[in-house]
Amino acid sequence: MTLRKSLMAVSLALAAGLALFLVLGAVLQGGGLGALWGAHLGGNFYHLFPHNLLVAMFGTVFGFPVLPLAIGALLYASGVLDRFDPHNVAQDEAVLRSGLAHHPWLGPLVQIGAIALVIATGVPGGILLVLVIGVPGLGLYALGRAFGITVQVDAAPLDPSWWTVPLLVLAALRARGLR
C-alpha cells in the first residue's frame, strides 16, 4: 500500500469516526438525526452532547490504548521481557538463524514480530502515541479556540519562589528512585 493510499484510508477512517460520533450522540440523546439539523441549540454544544455522554464515549476510547500499556507494564514487571535483553538475543541469534535456514517461511513472521516488539515495548511506540493522539488533540483545541467554541484552559502558575522548579525536579528524581 502506498503512502497516498494509506493517508486516504486514515482520512476516510477519521471522517467516518466523526460522522459516527455525531450520529451516535444525536441518537443517544433521543432526538434522532433531526437533532443534528433541525434543533435550535443556541450555540450550546452540551445540549446535543451532554458531559456524561462525552465522558462515556471518550472514556471508552481512552481505554483502548491503556489496556496494551497495562499489559506491557505487567510483562515488564513480571520479568518476561528480560529474555529480550540484547545480550540474550545475541546469544540466541545462531539458533534463530539455523531455524530460519530450515524454515524460510518464518523470516517474514520474525520480522513482523520484531517490529511489533520494538513498537510495543520501546520508545518508538511512545513517540508514535504522542504524535497520533497528543498533537492532533492540541491542534483541535487550538482550532476550537480560534473559532471560539472551546473554553480557555488556564493552568495554575508556578509559585514565583526560586526554589519551586528545583524542588519539583528533586521530587521527580525521588519518585524515579522509588520505582
| Complete DSSP assignment for 131-163 | IIIIHHHHHHHHHHHHHT-SPPP-PPPPPSSTT
pLDDT given for residue 122 in this prediction: 66
Query: Are 36 and 22 within 8 A, CB to CB?
Result: yes
Q: Is residue 7 part of a domain?
A: yes
pLDDT given for residue 134 in this prediction: 80
The CA-CA-CA angle for residues 1, 62, 15, to 5°, reads 45
Q: Is residue 170 part of a domain?
A: no
Q: How many domains does the chain have?
A: 1
Label residue 179 exposed, middle or buried (CB < 10 Å: 0-12, 13-18, 19+). exposed
Q: Is residue 133 part of a domain?
A: no
Q: Is residue 37 part of a domain?
A: yes
Residues of the chain whose pLDDT is less than 70?
1, 29-43, 89-90, 118-126, 155-159, 178-179
Please provide the average confidence, as pLDDT, over all residues in the chain. Answer: 75
pLDDT given for residue 147 in this prediction: 83
Q: Is residue 10 part of a domain?
A: yes
pLDDT given for residue 104 in this prediction: 75
pLDDT given for residue 37 in this prediction: 64
pLDDT tens digits, one per residue of 97-139: 777 777 777 777 777 777 777 666 666 666 777 788 888 888 8
Distance from C-alpha of 46 to C-alpha of 22, rounded to nearest angstrom: 13
The residue segments making up the domain with residue 37 are: 1-49
0.85 surpassed by pTM = no
